[in-house]
Structure 1
Amino acid sequence: MNNIKQDFTIKDLENISGIKAHTIRIWEKRYNLLEPQRTDTNIRYYSHQNLQKLLNVVLLSKNNYKISKIAKMSDEEILQHSREVAFTMAINDEAINAFKLSMLQFDKVLFNTTYNKLLHKKSFREIFKDVFIPFLNHIGLLWQTDTLLPAHEHFISNLIAQKIHLSTESLQYGIESTEKTYVLFLPENEIHELGLLYLNYELVLRGKHTIYLGQSLPLDNLNYFFKNDRELCFITSLTIMPFDDKIDDYFSEINSILEGTKHQLIAVGRKTDLLRAANFSSQITFHSSVSDLLKVL
């Protein structure tokens, strides 16, 4: 029943930490930094605690701690020093590593402290583009290699979503007196909303009037918005839903809803590549990513 991954191969450790398996083995043999267990067939595997320790070691080694000095520290000292480094570090790669540690250790304090340090050096837009996007891309790779716990992704995604909400709320003024309203929603059973949340932030930042509907919206709800006189631009984001074999039917239904109106729909996400050659009578356009869409808005 419990399919959450608790043990990791050395390849998993390489994928997550960015340190080559060969180097990990050297650290293990020469400095006894990690204590792997072995299967009945003598294959090494590493615990979740081993993974956390390795990430802390990597953080320290990238911040002028010699590996020989780290090896003499207790596990508690390594954790303490790595948190001190994370709290006082600079930007980008170091911040991404700190967020990675925060995710794997369910450490909200580390996440918030790292984020607040970034805010002294970068705007929220810069943090999202320079740090959160590369970090989220890395999470995606970890999902592909089956090295990430579902609980970790939920934990960190919720923390990032909170920051987007707070940043958006701070902009809720100076809305343009425009006739166009942007209505943002996700398909039914789609829960991956960070990209859509950030797009809503960018629209509000530009003075646009938005209505954010969020996750898992039935398409028949869109008709409700036709009752006012505003021009509508619906925006949806596709990560896992609809399934590939259902995507044509999904957009055919959207086309029929919008047909004969002045309203339009923009769909964002890699799944839109499946629809590039489609011919719709309504105003439906596709963009591979939020970044691509922002270039033309």
Structure 2
Amino acid sequence: MNNIKQDFTIRDLENISGIKAHTIRIWEKRYNLLQPRRTETNIRYYTPQNLTKLLNIVLLNNNNYKISKIAAMSEEMITTKSRELAFSVATNDEAINSFKVAMFQFDKILFNNTYNKLLHKKTFREIFKDIFIPFLDHIGLLWQTETLLPAHEHFISNLIAQKIQINTEKLQYSIANTNKTYVLFLPENEIHELGLMYLNYELVLRGNHTIYLGQSLPLNNLSYFLDSNRKICFVTSLTIQPYDDKIEEYFNEIADVMKSTDNQFIAIGRKVEKIQEMDLTDNIKLYKSVSDLLKLL
């Protein structure tokens, strides 16, 4: 965790908030809205508290609060007004911003209130596609730039996972497709499972029989299912694992498992781009995203 930044540059603030660094500096100088600190070598940096305040300011400013009016508020008032606003609005941009604030403040109440407000206007599927997916994509970018603590990502991912699980449990388990079973799993040491969890929800919604195995499954476990009388479609999601120098070896092992069977294997995620040129058998399919796969189901 020590290699993840806990102090933020102005470029970090721009990436997270969507507000240009030039504008942030103007807000600092003209309105004294943020007070960056300086290192011993006089380099400016921002605290997590600065970041949270900026996100609250953006939420207010996007909802017709003038910067001059926000600048006249106390920090406590900015926090209170932004929370009230987050609870009362449910447009996509405001919801995403509210989820950012909830993530950086570890605020479960704000997350749930924002989500429940969205449910008055959108279905769960619409919330996931219109809001959670772009929000998670943004988190991915923050992770790549080392702007995010693992604790932040774990906190918000667990809250979203709870919503997927609750909505999956609500579905009527009337299996329409009795000939095929989808077995969903993640590779060893892979923990990013929200996309796979949502795919499981969509498959169950469509009347499919699924077996959800979750994180970090060794490939040799798949052989157990090949002895079944049912037609099996394995589905995995590749976000971090396998590492680039191991991915061809991983798919060669998959090919060994799948040879001489009528079963299918589907891999989704950004890692599949690394093996597009491999000569794979017809029963192994690759998709860049859950959305791409769902279009064909």
Q: Look up the match of 2:43.
A: 43
Match of 2:188?
188
**Which whole-Å CA distance do the structure 2 matches of 1:273 and 1:205 have between them?**
29
How far is the alpha carbon of 1:282 from its aligned partner?
6.0
Deviation at 1:74, TM superposition (A): 1.0
The SS at the match of 1:130 is helix
**2:15 aligned partner:** 15
Deviation at 1:137, TM superposition (A): 0.8
> What is the match of residue 272 of structure 1?
272
Structure 2 CA distance for partners of 1:187 and 1:64, relative to 1, 3 Å: same
Q: 3-state DSSP class of the match of 1:178?
A: strand
2:262 corresponds in structure 1 to 262
Conserved? CA contact 2:185–2:212, under 8 Å: yes
Aligned residue pairs, count:
297
Partner of 1:175: 175
Q: Which residue of structure 2 aligns with residue 34 of structure 1? A: 34
1:187–1:138 Cα change, 3 Å: same
Q: Find the residue that maps to 2:178 and give its secondary structure.
A: coil
Cα distance between partner residues in 1 of 2:288 and 2:28: 42
The CA distance in 2 between the partners of 1:208 and 1:140, in whole Å, is 30
CA distance in 2, matches of 1:279, 1:71: 61
Give the residue type in structure 2 aligned to 1:185: F
Partner of 1:229: 229
AA of the residue aligned to 1:48: P
Residue 143 of structure 2 is matched in structure 1 by 143
1:58 aligns with 58
Mapped partners of 1:50, 1:22: distance in 2: 16
In structure 1, the residue matched to 2:153 is 153
1:256-283 deviations in Å (ceiling 9; x for gaps): 1111111110010121122222223461
- Listed as ranges, the matches of 1:90-101 within 5 Å are 90-101=90-101
Determine the C-alpha separation between the residues in 2 that align with 1:23 and 1:280. 50
State the AA in 1 paired with 2:12. D
Moved over 6 A (4+): none
CA contact (8 A) 2:234 2:266 kept: yes
Whether contact under 8 Å (1:180, 1:231) holds in the other structure is yes
TM-score by length of 1: 0.97
SS at match of 1:181: strand
SS of equivalent residue, structure 1 residue 79: helix
Q: Distance in 1 between matches of 2:177 and 2:104?
A: 45
Say whether 1:79 aligns with 2:84. no
Paired with 1:280 and 1:134, the residues of 2 have a C-alpha distance of: 31
Report the CA distance shift for 1:281/1:52 in structure 2 as closer, same or farther (over 3 A). closer
% identical aligned pairs: 73
1:101-116 map, 5 Å: 101-116=101-116
TM-score for the superposition, normalised by structure 2? 0.97
What corresponds to 1:117 in structure 2?
Answer: 117
Q: Hey, what's the Cα distance between the residues in 2 that align with 1:175 and 1:44?
A: 59
Is residue 176–residue 208 contact of structure 2 (8 Å, CA) maintained in 1? yes
Separation (CA, whole Å) in 2 of partners of 1:120 and 1:37: 42
Unaligned runs of 5+ in 2: none
- CA deviations on 1:153-201 (whole Å, 9 max, x unpaired) are 0100010011000111111422115110000000000000011001001
Gaps of 5+ in 1: none
Equivalence for 1:25: 25
| Distance in 1 (alpha carbons) for counterparts of 2:29 and 2:61 | 17
Q: Matches of 2:3 and 2:177 in 1, distance apart?
A: 51
Q: Check the 8 A contact 1:255/1:282 in 2, yes or no.
A: no
Q: Which stretch of structure 1 is more off in the superposition, 231-240 or 172-181? A: 172-181
- Per-residue CA deviations over 1:98-122 (Å, capped at 9, x if unaligned) read 0000001000000000001111100
Equivalent-residue separation in structure 2 for 1:6 and 1:232 (angstroms): 45
